[in-house]
């Protein structure tokens, strides 16, 4: 039983942290809820930063998880613009802010998210080198893309992951010239494998994006402090008025590490190691969202998922666990993207090497289809592209673990529901 005089502290005011606070109150917790975040903005959702908000199609107000007044109304003590720099697990305290305020916790949630990896090459200090994680970055980038579009300017993007590609689409929307430099031979290889990665390469080529595959940036060349060009390790030079680094994100584990909490192996994606109830190696400390590495029984693997749905559901799951609920966090991983007129949703987990077949239902050429990653007849993951309202049967197929007839799986006339055991 949780007492009303208990204090639950949440470090990190992203989606996971804000949703955890909401769940604590929704579940009837009457103790103190303290939410501390180093950003000055109220908790917000990041997907619009590389889509609608970046394109100027979504208002700033639309990105926030709750309206500002919600926190006081629900008695959530919000400390914005304050960094937690120490956790003392013996004393059960956290220290935050410039004045070193110390608060005692009964339960602690680490929802510290991830941070973009930085390019470590000459020229990154020039004006015109960008990355995108925060609202302020999106605001700045919006202005950059608009002026590149106006002046026929060139943007070089390092990395053809989700964020790199979404920004490429936004930049083309503004009319900027875009070159994407990517180490691999196809975009998104670690998630989609070569078969479906090629589809995204074609989508972007059709919209005028140039790709330089099999290369990495080695130098950003500038003059008078501004970017002029970007050089790659195979000796090419691309004209550039701005460079955007989209080379992935790293989990923000420094606080957990200095507190002596166990971390996951880098080979498993790193992050703070938690059990299936999102509890760290300290039973009073939990982790959720991008920073957490949790065991997923369905896939027999430890996963660290850097996606919106994992923050949306993981924060609340951690909150319920903090309240003593016996609930296993085993959601099928899910994410989405929007690029040009392509919208897609992906459920499951099927990195290259884990599947033996990709089954396509529908017309991949028209970019209206569902792809399934299958191993020995069992669906590991499914991606619906411009096909809607199928997430539920796809996730049930994955969860069932049942062998399916792959011919029926490929046949759009066979209802997906009929394949679910």
Ligand X SMILES: Cc1cc2nc3c(=O)[nH]c(=O)nc-3n(C[C@H](O)[C@H](O)[C@H](O)COP(=O)(O)OP(=O)(O)OC[C@H]3O[C@@H](n4cnc5c(N)ncnc54)[C@H](O)[C@@H]3O)c2cc1C
Per CB under 6 A, residues contacting ligand X are 11-17, 36-39, 46-47, 49-50, 83-84, 111-114, 132-133, 163, 252, 255, 289-290, 306-309, 311, 335-337
Distance CA 15, CA 292 (A): 14
Report angle CA 176, 164, 357 to the nearest 5 degrees.
130
Q: Which of 207, 157, 145 is nearest to 181 (CA)?
A: 157
Please state the closest distance from residue 180 (CB atom) to ligand X, in A: 16
Q: Quick one: 171 or 420, whose CB is closer to ligand X?
A: 171
Distance CA 297, CA 276 (A): 9
Q: How far is CA 68 from CA 47, 52, 110, in A?
A: 20, 21, 22
Q: Which of 241, 226, 242 is nearest to 132 (CA)?
A: 242
Q: Quick one: 179 or 339, whose CB is closer to ligand X?
A: 339
Please state the closest distance from residue 84 (CB atom) to ligand X, in A: 4
Q: Quick one: 117 or 378, whose CB is closer to ligand X?
A: 117
Q: Quick one: 36 or 169, whose CB is closer to ligand X?
A: 36
Strand positions, DSSP E, 123-170: 129-130, 154-158
Q: Quick one: 167 or 409, whose CB is closer to ligand X?
A: 167
Within 10 angstroms of residue 184's Cβ, the number of other Cβ atoms is: 15
Please state the closest distance from residue 56 (CB atom) to ligand X, in A: 15
Alpha helices in 261-347 (DSSP H): 308-322
Q: Quick one: 25 or 95, whose CB is closer to ligand X?
A: 95
Please state the closest distance from residue 43 (CB atom) to ligand X, in A: 7
Q: Which of 2, 39, 23, 74 is nearest to 315 (CA)?
A: 23
Q: Quick one: 79 or 231, whose CB is closer to ligand X?
A: 79
Q: Taking the mean position of all CA atoms in its chain, how far away is CA 186?
A: 20
Contact of 290 with 259, CB cutoff 8 Å: no
What are the φ/ψ torsions at residue 125 (nearest 5 degrees)?
A: -85, -5
Q: Residues 339, 344, 345, 351: is their CA dihedral positive or negative?
A: negative
Q: Which two tokens stand for residue 86?
A: 């120490």
Please state the closest distance from residue 97 (CB atom) to ligand X, in A: 10
Please state the closest distance from residue 411 (CB atom) to ligand X, in A: 29
Q: Quick one: 329 or 336, whose CB is closer to ligand X?
A: 336
7: which strand partners? 32
Q: Quick one: 162 or 215, whose CB is closer to ligand X?
A: 162
Please state the closest distance from residue 13 (CB atom) to ligand X, in A: 5
Please state the closest distance from residue 44 (CB atom) to ligand X, in A: 8
Please state the closest distance from residue 271 (CB atom) to ligand X, in A: 10
* DSSP conformational letter for 127: B
Distance CA 113, CA 271 (A): 9
Give the pairing of strands 93-96 and 101-104.
antiparallel
């Amino acid at each position: 039983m949780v007492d009303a005089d208990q204090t639950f502290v949440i470090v990190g005011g992203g989606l996971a942290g804000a949703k955890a606070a909401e769940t604590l109150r929704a579940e009837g917790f009457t103790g103190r809820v303290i939410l501390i975040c180093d950003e000055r903005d109220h908790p917000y959702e990041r997907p619009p930063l590389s889509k609608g908000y970046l394109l100027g199609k979504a208002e700033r107000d639309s990105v926030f998880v709750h309206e500002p007044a919600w926190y006081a109304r629900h008695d959530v003590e919000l400390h914005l613009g304050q960094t937690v720099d120490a956790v003392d697990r013996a004393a059960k305290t956290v220290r935050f802010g410039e004045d070193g305020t110390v608060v005692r916790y009964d339960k602690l949630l680490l929802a510290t998210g991830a941070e973009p990896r930085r390019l470590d090459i000459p020229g990154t200090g020039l004006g015109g080198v960008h990355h995108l994680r925060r609202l302020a970055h999106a605001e700045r980038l919006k202005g950059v893309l608009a002026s590149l579009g106006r002046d026929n300017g060139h943007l070089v993007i390092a990395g053809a992951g989700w964020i790199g590609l979404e920004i490429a689409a936004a930049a083309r929307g503004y009319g900027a010239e875009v070159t994407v430099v990517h180490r691999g031979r196809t975009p998104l290889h670690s998630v989609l494998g070569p078969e479906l990665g090629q589809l995204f390469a074609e989508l972007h080529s059709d919209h005028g994006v140039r790709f330089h595959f099999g290369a990495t940036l080695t130098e950003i060349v500038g003059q008078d402090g501004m970017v002029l060009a970007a050089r790659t390790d195979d000796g090419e030079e691309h004209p550039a008025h701005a460079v955007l680094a989209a080379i992935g994100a790293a989990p923000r584990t420094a606080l957990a590490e200095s507190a002596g909490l166990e971390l996951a192996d880098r080979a498993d994606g790193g992050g703070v190691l938690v059990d299936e109830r999102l509890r760290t190696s300290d039973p009073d400390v939990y982790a959720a969202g991008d920073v957490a590495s949790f065991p997923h029984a369905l896939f027999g693997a430890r996963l660290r998922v850097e996606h919106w749905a994992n923050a949306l559901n993981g924060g609340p799951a951690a909150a319920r666990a903090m309240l003593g609920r016996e609930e296993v966090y085993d959601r099928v991983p899910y994410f989405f993207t929007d690029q040009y007129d392509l919208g897609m949703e992906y459920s499951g987990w099927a990195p290259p090497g884990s599947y033996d077949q990709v089954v396509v239902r529908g017309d991949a050429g028209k970019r209206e289809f569902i792809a399934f990653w299958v191993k020995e007849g069992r669906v590991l993951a499914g991606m619906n592209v411009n096909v809607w309202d199928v997430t539920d049967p796809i996730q049930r197929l994955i969860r069932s673990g049942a062998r399916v007839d792959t011919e029926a799986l490929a046949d759009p006339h066979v209802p997906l529901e009929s394949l679910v055991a």
